[in-house]
């Protein structure tokens, strides 16, 4: 057996014999950010988490049931995970929590950190539920989202009048993923929302201010302990798609750069861009509670924009 085969065989054995906990605490409009921060300050969640790379993943000591128990008040019974194990606990099947989020804007489109919701006037809602399955190192999380938005017409200015709109209904992959997990690392395909960087209402780079996008990911599932400290990271490669159903807001269409590329009266009908990005966090062993790190991102111009720029130059 050559060296490459030996390394591959060793990795497979390592993956199979590790106990897996790949479910996550998703980055949602109804996320539990404040609870997570409070529990860490109370010493109930490991201080080694920087909380700058999310979603967080459950571990052997930090399970979904223990998390529910920690956030439950003393007078209420904590929620319990509905799950079933099989094949000697080699496999697992469980139901994911159901979430229903509704929002109403009475006058004009507005929204912030509300995930798949759109900037729209009127009522809109997101319903999400799903299942989670494990089979050895393989984990599958299916948690799609259904969006319904009335998207009512609204007045912009007296000069522009009322902007016509249409109802929006979408079925999105939501917080879903397929992963191979082993110890503190994970490799997979995901559409989950990401949160990179410090900040309570706005992150440094990634956030839940839009729906999650399909991406390949290689990331840590918990702080990786080394003699020099704890490390967390995530590397992604994916596809960013513009929304073909919604017109660019009037504020964007009024920008000089937008008019230069698309013209003063044109409406951009959507395109896609390639993205690769990475984020990294390090807590030195000699500086407990201090985290340092960096993030970088590259996303290319869409084909449509390149064609328009090439035409304008020629």
pLDDT tops 70 at residue 93? yes
pLDDT digits (tens, 9 = 90+) for 152-201: 887 765 555 566 678 889 999 999 999 999 888 999 999 999 999 887 77
Q: Which residue has the higher pLDDT, 71 or 74?
A: 71
- pLDDT number for residue 16: 38
Instruction: Indicate the domain borders of the chain.
Output: 12-313
Q: Which of 162, 199, 190, 167 is nearest to 33 (CA)?
A: 199
Token match 């780079």: residue? 205
Beta strands 229-241 and 145-149, pairing class: unpaired
pLDDT digits (tens, 9 = 90+) for 225-260: 999 999 999 999 998 887 766 555 555 555 666 656
Q: Which residues of 257-277 are buried (b: 16+ CB within 10 A; e: fewer)?
A: ebeebbeeeeebeebebebeb
pLDDT digits (tens, 9 = 90+) for 203-217: 888 888 889 999 999
Q: What are the CB-based long-range contacts (under 8 Å, 24+) for 152-157?
A: 152/120, 152/121, 152/122, 153/121, 154/107, 154/108, 154/109, 154/121, 155/108, 156/250
Q: Which residue has the higher pLDDT, 5 or 245?
A: 245
Q: Which residues pair with 168 in a beta bridge?
A: 149
Q: Which residues of 201-238 are buried (b: 16+ CB within 10 A; e: fewer)?
A: eebeebbbbbbbbebebebbbbbbeeeebbbbbbebeb
Residue 186: half-sphere exposure toward Cβ, Cα within 13 Å: 30
- pLDDT number for residue 74: 66
pLDDT digits (tens, 9 = 90+) for 110-157: 888 888 888 888 999 999 999 999 998 999 999 999 999 988 887 765
> What pTM was computed for the model?
0.79
- pLDDT number for residue 179: 95
- By percentage, how much of the chain surpasses pLDDT 90? 34
Distance CA 247, CA 270 (A): 9
Phi, psi of 3 (to 5 degrees): -65, -45
pLDDT tops 80 at residue 265? no
């Amino acid at each position: 057996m050559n060296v490459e085969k030996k390394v591959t065989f060793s990795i497979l054995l390592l993956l199979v014999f590790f106990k897996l906990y790949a479910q996550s605490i998703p980055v949602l409009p109804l996320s539990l950010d404040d609870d997570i921060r409070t529990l860490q300050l109370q010493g109930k969640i490991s201080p080694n988490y920087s909380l700058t790379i999310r979603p967080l993943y459950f571990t052997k000591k930090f399970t979904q049931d223990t998390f529910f128990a920690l956030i439950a008040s003393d007078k209420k019974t904590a929620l319990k995970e509905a799950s079933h194990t099989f094949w000697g606990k080699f496999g697992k099947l469980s139901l994911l929590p159901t979430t229903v989020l509704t929002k109403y804007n009475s006058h004009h489109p507005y929204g912030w950190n509300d995930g798949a919701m759109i900037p729209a006037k009127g009522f809109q809602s997101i319903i999400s539920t799903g299942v989670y399955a494990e089979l050895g190192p393989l984990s599958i999380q299916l948690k799609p989202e259904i969006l319904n938005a009335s998207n009512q017409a609204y007045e912009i200015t007296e000069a522009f009048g009322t902007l016509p709109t249409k109802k929006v209904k979408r079925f999105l992959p939501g917080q879903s993923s397929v992963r191979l997990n082993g110890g503190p690392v994970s490799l997979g395909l995901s559409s989950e929302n990401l949160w990179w960087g410090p900040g309570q209402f706005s992150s440094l780079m990634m956030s839940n201010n839009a729906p999650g996008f399909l991406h390949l990911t290689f990331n840590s599932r918990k702080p990786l302990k080394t003699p020099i400290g704890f490390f967390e990271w995530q590397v992604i490669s994916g596809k960013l798609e513009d929304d073909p159903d919604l017109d660019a807001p009037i504020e964007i269409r009024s920008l000089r750069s937008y008019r230069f590329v698309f013209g003063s009266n044109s409406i951009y009908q959507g395109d896609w861009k390639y993205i690769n990005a990475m984020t990294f966090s390090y807590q030195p062993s000699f500086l407990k509670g201090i985290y340092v790190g960096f993030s970088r991102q590259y996303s290319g111009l869409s084909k449509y924009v390149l064609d328009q720029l090439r035409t304008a130059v020629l």
